[in-house]
Amino acid sequence: DTGGNVYVAGYSSDWGSPVNAYAGDIYDAFAAKLNSTGALVWNTFMGGTAEDRGEAIVVDTDTPPNVYVAGQTGTTWGSPVTGGAHAGGWDAFAAKTTDPLPQINIKQDTSDIPDGGSYDFESKKIGTDTDVIFTIENTGNANLTLTTSITIAGTNADQFSVQQEPSSPVTGDGSTTFDIRFSPTALGAKTASISIANNDSDENPYDIDFTGTGKYELTITAGTGGTTDPTAAAYLYNGGAEVGIEAIPDSGYRFWKWTGDASGTANPVTVTMDSHKSVTANFTEIATKFVILNPADSTAGTATTVTVQAQRPDNSVDTFYDDDVTLVASGSATGEGLVNISSGVGTLSINDTVAETVNLSLSGGDGLDISSTQNVLFSPGTATQFVILNPADSTAGTATTVTVQAQDANNNVDTAYNTDVTLVASGSATGEGLVTITSGVGTLDINDTVAETVNLSLSDTESTGLTFSSTQDVVFSPAGASKFVILNPADSTAGTATTVTVQAQDANNNVDTAYNNDVTLVADGSATGAGLVNISSGVGTLAINDTV
- Give the mean pLDDT of 303-310: 98
Please check whether residue 530 is in contact with residue 522, taking contact to mean a CB–CB distance below 8 angstroms: yes
CA distance 232 to 246: 11
For 91-142, write each residue's pLDDT tens digit.
Answer: 899 999 887 788 999 999 999 999 999 999 999 999 999 999 999 999 987 8
Classify 101-285 by CATH class: mainly beta
Report pLDDT for 236.
98
CA distance 176 to 154: 25
- Is the peptide bond prior to 64 cis by the omega test (within 30 degrees of 0)? yes
- Give the mean pLDDT of 179-192: 98
For 207-233, write each residue's pLDDT tens digit.
Answer: 999 999 999 999 999 999 999 999 999
CA distance 133 to 138: 17
CATH of 385-477 given 2.60.40.10, 3.40.50.620, 3.90.230.10, 2.60.40.2550: 2.60.40.10
pTM over 0.75: no
For 450-476, write each residue's pLDDT tens digit.
Answer: 999 999 999 999 999 999 999 999 999
Q: Which of 159, 161, 102 is nearest to 136 (CA)?
A: 102
Helical H runs in 162-250? none
Report pLDDT for 141.
79
Instruction: Please check the confidence at residue 85 and state whether its pLDDT lies above 90.
Output: no
Report pLDDT for 294.
98
Instruction: Please check the confidence at residue 24 and state whether its pLDDT lies above 90.
Output: no
Instruction: Please check the confidence at residue 404 and state whether its pLDDT lies above 80.
Output: yes
pLDDT category at 83 given cuts 50, 70, 90 is low
Across all residues in the chain, what is the average pLDDT?
A: 95
CA distance 220 to 228: 8
Report pLDDT for 2.
81
Sign of CA dihedral 394, 397, 398, 403: positive
Instruction: Please check the confidence at residue 206 and state whether its pLDDT lies above 70.
Output: yes
CATH of 289-379 given 3.30.1240.10, 2.60.40.10, 3.40.50.12280, 1.20.1440.230: 2.60.40.10
Instruction: Please check the confidence at residue 89 and state whether its pLDDT lies above 90.
Output: no
Q: In sequence order, which residues have a C-beta less than 8 Å from that of residue 273 and are 6 or more positions away?
A: 216, 218, 237, 238, 239, 240, 241, 242, 243
Instruction: Please check the confidence at residue 78 and state whether its pLDDT lies above 80.
Output: yes
Annotated domain spans of the chain: 6-98, 101-285, 289-379, 385-477, 483-544
